[in-house]
Amino acid sequence: MKVTHNGKSKHYRTVWFDKTNNQVQLIEQRLLPHQFKIVSTKNYVETSQAIKDMVVRGAGAIGATAAYGLAQGAQIFQGNGIKTFEKHITKVYRTLASARPTAIDPINAMRSMVTKMAGQTVATRKSQALALAEQFADDDVAYCQGIGRIGEKLIQNGTRVLTHCNAGWLAFVDYGSATAPMYSAQARNKKFHVFCDETRPRSQGAALTAWELAQEGISHDIIADNASGHLMQRGEIDLVIVGSDRTLGRTGEVTNKIGTYTKAVLAKRHNIPFYVTIPLSTIDWKLKSGLEIPIEERSSEEVLRAWGVTDSGRRQSVSIANPSSTARNPSFDVTPPELITGIITPVGIFNPNQLWKNRAKLGYNNKK
């Protein structure tokens, strides 16, 4: 996506790799929309922490970041022993995999890399690690572009779209999943409007999706999370498009940002199409029930406090809740397939109950 920064318009990916310094380059998403900043992580431990702290977030973006982190970890290994190298890579893998447990993209990315890093020497495997990380990032972009081409047909002139959280360019390497049909529709000169749920407690919809849409000149409004039911009841929403952090290929259950399940229930009640967008890397072919998905529960401080920028430009955290109260902060929920109209992938739109039947087309590999 092109970003206007310091008076200049430049195309940026959300994450990329600096081979010269063995550093991962990231857009500092916690500062947006008020400040655009690039940060570097100097080693795989810092890269893991950046994922955990949500410097970078979103399924594809943290998948690529983890892939680069694994490559980053591979490069620092000293020695020529394959077995010792493999033990080192296992340590790097576990560190990165533990950063955010709900999303499957980092796991899928790194599992694929480890399987394919099969060179006869350590030097070869280091080189393979870098190439495979770059390939995952490039595939992520291609997947999202495919989602855009397929999904834009759902958006017509005058369509009013609701989306939740941020499944845009910032959540992937480029282009986004839920926003991809919107960007493709805009490229075809379709005129439509987007409602962005604020998405408490971290407000990624208000801060990130709205910022992206503004960069692209797409008509939109930010709404409170609890306003969507009212707008649906009044006939002001025609279509819901969301992303996913893990979609079960065997059952069609979709894990996404907390509040997605609520939107799906509301959409079903009002007969509004509810679509989920996913690259192939977001499919989990192993788990057999949504109850098995590890749901990340983050700090209660995210609920009890909020970050903002004062009129003078100072970024600060403020208390917004009763000081003596505690809070729960589950970050994701699971939407059952019966509430989902279709799942938009780079290779077509599928009924959620038909993912397993179409597993070959969707990239299933029983060796993963």
> Is the domain of 48 the same as that of 170?
no
Q: Give percent of the chain with pLDDT exceeding 70.
A: 99
CATH number at 35 reads: 1.20.120.420
Task: For residues 145-158, give the mean pLDDT.
Answer: 98
Q: Please state whether 174 falls in left (phi above 0), alpha (psi between -120 and 50) or beta.
A: beta
> Is the domain of 179 the same as that of 307?
yes
> Is the domain of 309 the same as that of 177?
yes
Phi, psi of 323 (to 5 degrees): -55, -30
**Is residue 367's pLDDT more than 70?**
no
Q: Give percent of the chain with pLDDT exceeding 90.
A: 95
Q: Which residues of 261-292 are buried (b: 16+ CB within 10 A; e: fewer)?
A: bbbbebbeebebebbbbbbbbbbbbebeebee
Threshold 0.85, pTM exceeds: yes
Task: For residues 94-118, give the mean pLDDT.
Answer: 96
Position 123 in a domain? yes
Position 322 in a domain? yes
Indicate the average pLDDT of the chain: 96
Position 315 in a domain? yes
Catalytic residue among 140, 174, 245, 284, which? 245
pLDDT of residue 4: 75
In angstroms, the CA 364 to CA 358 distance is 9
Task: For residues 130-147, give the mean pLDDT.
Answer: 97
Position 363 in a domain? no
Amino acid in the structure at residue 48: S
**Is residue 6's pLDDT more than 80?**
no
CATH number at 254 reads: 3.40.50.10470
Position 291 in a domain? yes
284 catalytic per annotation: no
Position 113 in a domain? yes
Amino acid in the structure at residue 183: Y
In angstroms, the CA 90 to CA 329 distance is 30
Residue 362 has what DSSP assignment?
Answer: T
pLDDT of residue 27: 97
Which of 87, 110, 144 delimits the end of a domain? Answer: 144
Position 366 in a domain? no
Give the DSSP letter string of 82-103: HHHHHHHHHHHHHHHHTSSSS-
Non-local (6+) Cβ contacts of 281 within 8 A are 59, 60, 63, 104, 105, 108, 109, 136, 139, 140, 143
Which of 107, 125, 144 delimits the end of a domain? Answer: 144
Q: Which residues lie across from 348 on neighbouring strands?
A: 345
pLDDT of residue 368: 47
**Is residue 2's pLDDT more than 90?**
no
Task: For residues 357-363, give the mean pLDDT.
Answer: 96
pLDDT of residue 365: 80
> Is the domain of 112 the same as that of 168?
no
Answer with the residue of higher pLDDT: 121 or 6. 121
Amino acid in the structure at residue 18: D
> Is the domain of 169 the same as that of 112?
no
Q: Going by DSSP bridges, is the β-strand pair 193-197/160-163 parallel, antiparallel, or unpaired?
A: parallel
Domain residue limits at 120: 2-144
pLDDT tens digits, 217-258: 999 999 999 999 999 999 999 999 999 999 999 999 999 999
